[in-house]
């Protein structure tokens, strides 16, 4: 839906609002607060977009969403001397519906080892007919707490010079500015040079660009107290189609969940099948709180003049596995590089899109031919067993 050019009455914007100080490139101060006057020194005697709002503040780079993609983008821009404001609608950074698995060949190269909770050199893969163990010298996958990851990435971005504002929701976008509201109900207009959408599968920035989303996955996750030693993938095509159920051990909890294409199963059906499957694995999830999320794998581009999309907002997650943290971080850094150097070709985006298309082919074939889905999953696992392909073939970084 197109968002029309927006004018707000002057009285909607109070004379003073608490907003973050945007530190200069060399400032060690990451995020302070000042009382903005009706006209900031940043925009004094300037007319940004003829908005008719004298209280409009100006920020060179505005990032909507403080997930891994937005924080990676903001850190890279700030590190290179650009002014950055990252807006997060939630009151805290990090919590996310996610199994918390990160791959050695992908994200493990981007985060310190101290953040990891468990590392696994063995992966146990189950299909309707096979049960195999995949082993490598180095950890194949590690688990990480998403809140811990988010706080570390936020600290890194702030130390680089980016300002982060939580509890702030962007609800209106025009080509010149955005309108944001705080948890206290106050509103403000922010003009920008570059706008980056890192706001997930239901991205308001993507809607502003009028880019629809067709390919969506559903992930449902339970966090259960306890310990177990094996990281397991269950490719049960009878229950999950081309998706899977997982058991991912963390430090003191176990992530138990399932993922599938939304065209394959509804969220309600997936939850019921997940509960049924988990019970067979010895986990009674009835009465426990489930968390669900949509996963966008409908990639239509990242670069749209001075507006950009990263991660799930861009549709860069895998439609086969739901892997999204690695694509978010890599695309966030690629967008930052593109802003710094408009001639940058972003080969890392091209590589991920090629892998994503391979995953999408499997999902589409499986949806059209359920019998083929079972045969394909058995064939893939057989190739893993025979070491004709390795586990990284199924990763977005592979």
Determine the Cα–Cα distance for residues 185 and 7; give it in Å rounded to an integer.
Answer: 18
Per residue in 155-187, pLDDT (tens digit) is 999 999 999 999 999 999 999 999 999 878 889
Question: Residue 305 pLDDT more than 80?
Answer: yes
3-state secondary structure of 132: strand
* Tokens 């997060």 found at: 88
Residues 329/72, Cβ–Cβ less than 8 Å? yes
In angstroms and rounded to an integer, the radius of gyration of the C-alpha atoms of the chain is 22
Structure tokens at 118: 């468990």
Per residue in 222-233, pLDDT (tens digit) is 999 999 999 999
Give 109's pLDDT tier (boundaries 50, 70, 90).
Answer: low
Please write down the HEC assignment for all residues of 219-275.
EEEEEEECCCCCCEEECCHHHHCCCEEEEEECCCEEEEEEEEECCCCCHHHHHHHHH
Determine the Cα–Cα distance for residues 140 and 108; give it in Å rounded to an integer.
Answer: 9
Pair type for strands 17-20 and 253-261: unpaired
Give the model's pLDDT for residue 11: 32
Give the model's pLDDT for residue 95: 67
Sign of the C-alpha dihedral computed for residues 371, 377, 380 and 386 taken in this order: negative
Q: State the DSSP string of 167-197.
A: SEEEEEE-SSEEEEEETTS-EEEEEEEEEEE
What is the percentage of the chain residues whose pLDDT exceeds 70?
A: 84
How much is the average pLDDT of 112-131? 92
Question: Residue 97 pLDDT more than 70?
Answer: no
Give the model's pLDDT for residue 247: 96
Pair type for strands 122-126 and 163-165: unpaired
Determine the Cα–Cα distance for residues 10 and 193; give it in Å rounded to an integer.
Answer: 22
Structure tokens at 329: 């971080």
For residues 308-326, b (16+ Cβ closer than 10 Å) or e, as one string? bbbbbbbbbbbbbbbbbbb
Question: Residue 327 pLDDT more than 80?
Answer: yes
Pair type for strands 216-225 and 291-296: antiparallel
Query: Measuring CA to CA, how many Å separate 143 from each of 51, 64, 99, 146, 181?
Result: 47, 26, 8, 9, 35
Least confident of 10-19, 76-85, 133-142, 166-175: 10-19
Give the model's pLDDT for residue 107: 67
What domains can you pick out in the chain, each with its CATH number?
10-94+148-213+298-353 (3.50.50.60), 101-144+218-294+358-394 (3.30.9)
More confident residue, 93 or 62: 62
Residues 34/90, Cβ–Cβ less than 8 Å? no
**In Å, how far from its chain's centre is CA 82?**
23
Give 394's pLDDT tier (boundaries 50, 70, 90).
Answer: confident
Least confident of 32-41, 209-218, 248-257, 269-278: 32-41
3-state secondary structure of 358: helix
Work out the mean pLDDT of the chain and round it to a whole number: 84
Q: What's the predicted TM-score (pTM) here?
A: 0.85
Question: Residue 203 pLDDT more than 80?
Answer: yes
């Amino acid at each position: 839906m197109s968002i029309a050019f927006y004018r707000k009455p002057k009285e909607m914007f109070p004379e003073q609002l608490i907003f973050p100080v945007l530190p200069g490139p060399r400032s060690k101060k990451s995020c302070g607060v000042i009382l903005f006057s009706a006209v900031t020194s940043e925009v004094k005697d300037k007319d940004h977009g003829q908005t008719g709002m004298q209280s409009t503040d100006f920020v060179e780079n505005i990032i909507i969403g403080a997930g891994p993609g937005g924080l990676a983008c903001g850190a890279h821009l700030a590190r290179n001397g650009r002014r950055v404001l990252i807006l997060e609608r939630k009151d805290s950074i990090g919590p996310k519906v996610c199994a918390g698995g990160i791959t050695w060949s992908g994200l493990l190269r981007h985060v310190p080892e101290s953040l990891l909770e468990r590392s696994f050199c063995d992966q146990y893969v189950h299909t309707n007919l096979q049960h195999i163990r995949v082993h490598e010298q180095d950890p194949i996958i590690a688990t990480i707490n998403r809140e811990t990851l988010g706080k570390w990435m936020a600290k890194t971005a702030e130390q680089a010079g980016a300002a982060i504002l939580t509890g702030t929701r962007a609800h209106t976008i025009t080509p010149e500015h955005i309108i944001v509201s705080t948890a206290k109900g106050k509103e403000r207009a922010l003009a920008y040079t570059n706008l980056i959408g890192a706001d997930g599968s239901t991205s308001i920035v993507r809607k502003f660009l009028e880019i629809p989303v067709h390919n969506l996955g559903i992930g449902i996750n339970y966090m259960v107290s306890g310990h177990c030693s094996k990281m397991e993938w269950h490719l049960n095509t009878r229950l999950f189609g081309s998706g899977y159920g997982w058991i991912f051990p963390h430090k003191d909890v176990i992530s138990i969940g399932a993922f599938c294409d939304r065209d394959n199963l509804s969220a309600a059906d997936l939850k019921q099948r997940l509960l049924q499957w988990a019970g067979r694995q010895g986990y009674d999830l009835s009465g426990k709180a489930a968390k669900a999320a949509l996963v966008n794998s409908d990639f239509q581009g990242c670069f749209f003049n001075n507006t950009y999309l990263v991660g799930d907002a861009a549709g860069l997650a895998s439609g086969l596995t739901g892997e999204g943290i690695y694509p978010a971080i890599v695309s966030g850094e690629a967008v930052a590089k593109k802003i710094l150097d408009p001639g940058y070709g972003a080969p890392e985006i091209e590589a991920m899109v090629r892998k994503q298309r391979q995953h999408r082919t499997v999902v589409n074939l499986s949806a059209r031919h359920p019998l083929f889905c079972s045969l394909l999953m058995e064939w893939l696992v057989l190739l893993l067993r025979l070491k004709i392909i390795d586990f990284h073939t199924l990763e977005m970084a592979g």
